[in-house]
């Protein structure tokens, strides 16, 4: 599971560099295929940026894997917590530019609410009640790329970064806050 997340992060970085290198120009091929963002049950992965330390001073890595349900409106996708035990998270995103690199599409949006880790999604680690909070005003921004299956990413997904105050806490009293986060969403 960790290797797939690393590949997705690498793919996001490569696609971001390609967009900057193109200086937001339009593609040379007018018929580049659009990227299909899957709807229905998905897993959302969230990790706050910045150093986090436990009450005893040891560093820890807060992350949340949470079940969401993705729906589509006329111009945006909405990922909402799939059940109360997943929190009250709502992530909204839309296409933010043309398809520049075949198989990827830039997206932008907002996130609000709280995501609660679903430990059964990552059974190799001990159970945790880690939660990540984004506030309730929907002003925490995010950017990223939706991508189609390829040699680097075997499944359709969305991945990126976000900006805004993010707080993380767990049942052991560990907590931290930071100025941003990374996120990724894909099949269960």
Q: Which two tokens stand for residue 106?
A: 């830039």
Q: Which two tokens stand for residue 1?
A: 């599971």
Residue 100's pLDDT is what? 74
165 exposed, middle or buried (CB, 10 Å; 0-12, 13-18, 19+)?
middle
Residue 16's pLDDT is what? 45
Q: Is the dihedral of CA 58, 88, 67, 164 positive or negative?
A: negative
User: CA dihedral defined by 150, 9, 43, 105, rounded to 10 degrees?
Assistant: -60
For the chain, which residues make up each domain, given as ranges? Answer: 2-186
The SS3 call for residue 42 is strand
Which DSSP category does 162 fall into? E
Residue 70's pLDDT is what? 97
Q: Which two tokens stand for residue 107?
A: 């997206």
Rg (CA), the chain: 17
CA distance 58 to 180: 21
Positions of the chain with pLDDT under 50: 1-32
Residue 33's pLDDT is what? 52
pTM, 2 dp: 0.78
Residue 71's pLDDT is what? 97
């Amino acid at each position: 599971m960790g290797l797939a997340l690393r590949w997705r992060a690498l793919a996001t970085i490569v696609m971001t560099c390609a967009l900057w290198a193109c200086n937001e120009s339009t593609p040379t091929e007018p018929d580049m295929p659009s990227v299909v963002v899957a709807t229905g049950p998905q897993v959302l992965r969230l990790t706050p940026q910045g150093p986090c330390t436990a009450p005893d001073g040891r560093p820890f890595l807060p992350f949340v894997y949470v079940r969401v349900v993705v729906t589509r409106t006329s111009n945006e996708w909405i990922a909402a917590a799939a059940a109360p035990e997943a929190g009250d998270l709502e992530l909204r995103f839309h296409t933010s530019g043309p398809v520049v690199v075949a198989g990827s599409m830039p997206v932008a949006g907002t996130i609000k609410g709280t995501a609660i880790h679903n430990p059964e999604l990552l059974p190799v680690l001990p159970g945790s009640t880690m939660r990540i909070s984004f506030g309730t005003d929907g002003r925490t921004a995010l950017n990223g790329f939706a991508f189609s299956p390829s040699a680097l990413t075997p499944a359709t997904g969305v991945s990126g970064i976000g900006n805004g105050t993010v707080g993380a806490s767990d049942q052991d009293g560990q907590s931290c806050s930071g100025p941003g986060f990374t996120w990724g969403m894909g099949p269960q």
